[in-house]
Structure 1
Amino acid sequence: MEGTAHPPKRTGLLLAAGASRRFGPEDKLLAPFAGRPLLSHAAAAMRAAALDRRIAVVSSAETAALLDGFEVIRIAQGEQSDSLRAGIAAAGTPDRLLIALGDMPLVSAELLDRVIAACTDDHASAGREANGPPMPPACFPASWLPRLAELTGDQGAGRLLRDLPAGQIIDASGQLPDIDTPEALRKLSR
């Protein structure tokens, strides 16, 4: 219909290709949490969020097997920016790119939808724990994708989120702990 606005093309990017060095020899994304592999929680939230497309970047066949409903991009383990760039290349140029991390099992679909809704054509949006810095999940407009693709080394999108306006930062209310060590997983499981 003429004059009918189409919703922006929203693509979700789930990053799950890290080396998990601080976790030890086992793949932390496969570690059990609340009766399921850790990665399955973030994947379920992304499946339930208002997205038109879902992409996951992984480094193992075992994690790929948990990602029904996702386009899976498999890369060698490397630095954080490697998985981000691989995901951006696969995404093309969506109107909105939502980035979530596979080791954040408490992230909800409702939070992901709120982060997407706060993203504008000019500004990214992100979650934040009380008084903490902005962090993933984060949503970026198409105009920010070239900046994301230029990131190198062991850095993600965090540095691009530091100066977001207050209205672009969403209170995540305890949903953002990420699991880096077995102790962090045990503590979260209590």
Structure 2
Amino acid sequence: MARGRGMIAAEDTALVLLAAGRSDRFGDLDKLEQPYLAEPVGMHVVTALAAVPFRARIAVVSGTTLDYGARGYRVVQNPRPEDGQGRSLGLCLAAVRESGAKAVLIALADMPRVTAAHIYRLLETATGDDAVVASSNGEHPTPPALFGAAHFDFLEALTGDEGARRLVMGGRHVVTSPAELVDIDTPEQLQALTAKVMQEARD
């Protein structure tokens, strides 16, 4: 059976926000709750993508006090974040299917500089239900990444931290500034990013 080749619209796409990381290198602190400019780290991508008309918004969380539900997200709890991002993604696929979405856009809550403009570029590059489109810093692919409905079964069965890496490597890659794709793993990275952005604002 032939698969559809039409461009995938935001209105046909479910956004899945992975916000269940363990924050190991932040000690007892939840890195997503740490202040970055005017908001917690984990809310910047929520604000940046608020105007994108996704069919559904789903956040998978574990132990955070951030209220994604108040920002229009269906919240899915991951009781075992140590099982990796693959498990977090798999837990969300039931909600993605229920929404009737033709694709899923996966974003990470610890990437506070992602823009809506870049997300639209991913959507514009995706065609058909077998689409695989990831971001790239010019050297390697990274989230955010989009997957058409033909891959939902595969995504739902994921475990561990390997996730969809092999699938992504064979997909299309949309290059953007490495600064947009920075993720926060340590307090030092957060401090450096804050200092850099404040310096850019002064210049």
Provide TM-score, normalisation by structure 1: 0.87
1 CA distance for matches of 2:137 and 2:117? 15
User: Which amino acid in the other structure matches residue 55 of structure 2?
Assistant: D
1 CA distance for matches of 2:173 and 2:70? 28
Gaps in structure 2 of 5+ consecutive residues: 1-7, 196-203
Please give the secondary structure, in 1, of the residue aligned with 2:180: coil
Contact 1:50–1:113 (Cα < 8 Å) also in 2 = no
Q: Which moved more, 1:72-81 or 1:35-44?
A: 72-81
The Cα shift of 1:42 comes to 1.0
Please give the secondary structure, in 2, of the residue aligned with 1:62: coil
- What is residue 106 of structure 1 aligned with on the other side? 113
Contact 1:127–1:134 (Cα < 8 Å) also in 2 = yes
2 CA distance for matches of 1:55 and 1:20? 20
The Cα shift of 1:67 comes to 4.9
Work out which of the residue numbers 12, 22, 25 in structure 2 matches 1:22: 25
1:34 aligns with 2:41: no
- What is residue 129 of structure 1 aligned with on the other side? 137
1 CA distance for matches of 2:134 and 2:86? 18
Work out which of the residue numbers 137, 151, 170 in structure 2 matches 1:163: 170
The Cα shift of 1:66 comes to 7.0
Q: 1:72 to 1:66 in 2, by over 3 A?
A: closer
Q: Which moved more, 1:38-47 or 1:178-187?
A: 38-47
- What is residue 97 of structure 1 aligned with on the other side? 104
Structure 1 residues 129-169: Cα deviation after superposition (integer angstroms, max 9, x where no partner): 02x211110010000111212221122322321122xxx31
Contact 2:55–2:101 (Cα < 8 Å) also in 1 = no
User: How many residue pairs are counted as aligned between the two chains?
Assistant: 182
1:185 aligns with 2:164: no
Paired residues for 1:34-113 under 5 Å: 34-65=37-68, 67-78=70-81, 79-92=84-97, 94-113=101-120
Contact 1:18–1:77 (Cα < 8 Å) also in 2 = no
Q: 1:99 to 1:26 in 2, by over 3 A?
A: same
Provide TM-score, normalisation by structure 2: 0.82
Paired residues for 1:138-157 under 5 Å: 138-157=145-164
